[in-house]
Amino acid sequence: MSHLRAWIVAAASTAVTAALITPTVPADAAPTASPGVVGAQTAGDSLFPHQGNGGYDVSHYDLDIAWTTPNVITATATITATTTQQPLEQFSLDLEGLSVDAVTVDGAASAHARVDSGDTFKLVVTPASPVSGEFTTTVTYSGTPVSHTDPDGSDEGWVATAAQEGAVALNEPVGAMTWFPNNNTPQDKATFTTRLTVPYAAGLGALNRVAVSNGVLVGSPTVSGSTRTYTWNQPNPQASYLAMVGIGRYTASESDVALTSGTTHEWSFADPSATGSGRFATARGRLSSILKGIEKHYGPYPGSSTGLVLDVSSLGYALETQDRPYFENSIDGATLIHELAHQWFGDAVSPADWSDVWLNEGPATFIETQVGADLGGGTSTHDTYYGDWKSSSASFWATPAAGFTDASDLFGSQVYARGAIALEALRTALGNAVFTDVMRTWLETYGGGSATTAQFIDVAEQVSGYDLAAFFQTWIYGTTKPTAWPTAYQPGTLNPTPTPSMDSLVRVGRRVTVVTSAWDPGATLTYRWFLDGKAVPNAYRSSYVATAFSLGKSLTVAVTGRRTGYPSVTRTSSPRTVLRGFQVPMADPTVRGNPRVGATLRAYPGSHSNTTLRQQWYVDDRAVARATTTKFTLRPQDRSRVVRFAARWTRPGYFPVVKYSSRLRVR
């Protein structure tokens, strides 16, 4: 979110005093008595305890929204989710305002009720029978969406634009519930398909309304009578607060924007009546240089597309909606960098709790200065944030950057300026190379998900090899001004650390151990195993047993050495291909019975776990057709011939084993 947002503190209580529930039960709904639990009506956020829900995880939202003047929508939301633990006999979605016409779960009509009290807005769904595993909820709803007022007095959610010409939906932190039912927490990201239908008249030409959302525009807009429909697909995980809608008489522009490697497609939209529309082309022209400038420090652009949305509204802020940020009335250079930086910090990695929002705003503010200096020769991050620390008053530090408890402080200066100052202090302490490694590792580890300040500290400690608890207590959690700017750590150097190796060939089922005998004896070693370059879940020990899944893949192990007062060192072994394993030695099968014509012989192949057994009888070493059981009745034509039994054991990832019984001559 832009640091230019004008915040108005509202002294409003957020306590829920009552719950008004009006149930709507379809006539054909017939709940059964199957066992299930009631899903939680909270995701446990420290600042917004009545937002989000528990018991399920959403994987995809399919939104079909038709808009008409004056700002009325008719919509269907189809939500694909999976239960996270026990079956659910009841669950909830966040939805404020609007009228719910029907709810189905897996195609069956379901009872539903509304909770509308204080800051709690829920659609409570009771399916016809408890859901377990993946399930699909379809909500049909309509009405005039409302805007939502936050504890700091700012507005968000679905907002009509000038003269009811259109609307924008901007959601940070909880406004998404004003226009579609959702699990309104950044902990639960999902992909999106958003179809937006708006009025259309061929005679209006460029004056027709255009509809924009996140991700990629699928094909060309489709016209049906007096409407036109735009379909947007977001293939990347996206938090509900980052979803957006823009409807207006926009000028649409698109191009391929060059990145450090390859391109990404741009879809941009501007209301020609916006005061800054004349400079819109200039802002678009800077997309490539800014994105490549951020990539230089923090790695590949994580979005599915890029672009800008410029509209006329009275919200007072710009916002980092995923892929194409929103700007109100005009776009200035610093804010453009800030909102694009959020595509990495905030959009790719989101805060797991809203009190950790400095992980969005601190880096975006820092990058605004860093990339601004790179591209335009402005003041360096050190001069900027060292100066800000030096000149700051005691009151500036009264609210911690993370862990604050008042929701009205959500977008206070502590998350922007203090966040950026803390990052520059960390860069000073660790050095630029290690600091950059910390930030890139953070993105690589949690990209597509959400994480906490504690997890950021863990990444910083793992990458740097230092105990940073005191540093973060001072610069992030502290409520007094730090008395001194940090000096660069002066680490020693770990003894030469050779490339680790493996003690044997790698075969399925065989334990292979990493060899690190020449490493610094004072270092603590940790291990991470990889198959074809992808980390193996829970493979953190010094040895590893390959499974059948690993067959033919390339196995490597990364060893990291850490020692107090020294930077950590990581070395990765040369790759080894996982070969077939050898099955446990097996005894020869035995055959019992009198080997004479007319008698039945019985074979005993033995028992071996996790194997598939195939059996075959042979006469004079020729397989007997259809003789594939443990019993074989000797025929007249077998007289004076030699019979024996063969057992063939197979197991995925292993060489097969074939064993034969002793030979018997038939009388």
Region 307-335: mean pLDDT is 94
Quick one: three-class SS letters along 40-87? CCCCCCCCCCCCCCCCEEEEEEEEEEEEECCCEEEEEEEEEEEECCCC
Quick one: three-class SS letters along 563-592? CCCCCCEEEECCCEECECECCCCCCCCEEE
- How is the chain split among helix, strand and coil, in percent rounded to 5? 20, 35, 45
Strands 569-572, 576-577: pairing is unpaired
Q: DSSP state, 145? A: P
Please count the residues of the chain. 667
Answer whether residue 552 shows pLDDT above 70.
yes
Answer whether residue 28 shows pLDDT above 60.
no
DSSP codes of every residue in 591-632: EES--STT-EEEEE----TT-EEEEEEEETTEEPTT--SSEE
**Tell me: the pLDDT tens digits for 601-635?**
999 998 888 899 999 999 999 999 999 999 999 99
Residue span(s) of the chain under CATH 2.60.40.2700 come to 501-577, 590-665
Residue span(s) of the chain under CATH 1.10.390.10 come to 349-477
pLDDT band, very low/low/confident/very high, at 163 (cuts 50, 70, 90): low
Residue 558, beta-bridge partner list:
528, 572
pLDDT band, very low/low/confident/very high, at 494 (cuts 50, 70, 90): low
Helix (H) or strand (E) holding 289: helix 287-298
Residue span(s) of the chain under CATH 2.60.40.1730 come to 37-249
pLDDT band, very low/low/confident/very high, at 569 (cuts 50, 70, 90): confident
Burial of 227 per CB tally in 10 Å (0-12, 13-18, 19+): middle
**Tell me: the pLDDT tens digits for 385-394?**
999 999 999 9
**Tell me: the pLDDT tens digits for 224-259?**
999 999 999 999 999 999 999 999 999 999 999 999
Region 559-565: mean pLDDT is 80
- The pLDDT value recorded for residue 493 is 59
User: In 354-450, which ranges are continuous DSSP H helix?
Assistant: 358-376, 381-391, 413, 419-430, 432-446
- The pLDDT value recorded for residue 165 is 85
Pick among 2.170.130.10, 2.60.40.2700, 1.10.357.10, 2.10.240.10: CATH of 590-665: 2.60.40.2700
Q: State the architecture of 501-577 in CATH terms.
A: Sandwich (2.60)
**Tell me: the pLDDT tens digits for 138-162?**
999 999 999 999 898 889 999 998 7
pLDDT band, very low/low/confident/very high, at 102 (cuts 50, 70, 90): very high
- Of the chain, the end-to-end C-alpha distance in Å amounts to 92
3-state secondary structure of 13: coil
Nearest-Å Rg of the Cα atoms of the chain is 32
DSSP codes of every residue in 150-165: -TTS-EEEEEE-GGGS
Those residues whose C-beta lies under 8 Å from the C-beta of residue 65, and which sit 6 or more positions away, are 73, 74, 75, 179, 180, 194, 195, 196, 197, 245
**CB–CB of 196/209 below 8 Å?**
no
DSSP codes of every residue in 440-499: HHHHHHHTTEEE-HHHHHHHHHHHH-S--HHHHIIIII-SS--SSPPPPP----PPP-PP
Asked: is 37-249 a CATH 3.30.70.20 domain? The reply is no
Asked: is 349-477 a CATH 1.10.390.10 domain? The reply is yes
Q: DSSP state, 410? A: T
Q: DSSP state, 344? A: T
**Tell me: the pLDDT tens digits for 359-378?**
999 999 999 999 999 998 88
CA 355 – CA 399 distance, rounded (Å): 11
- Higher-pLDDT residue of 117 and 196 is 196
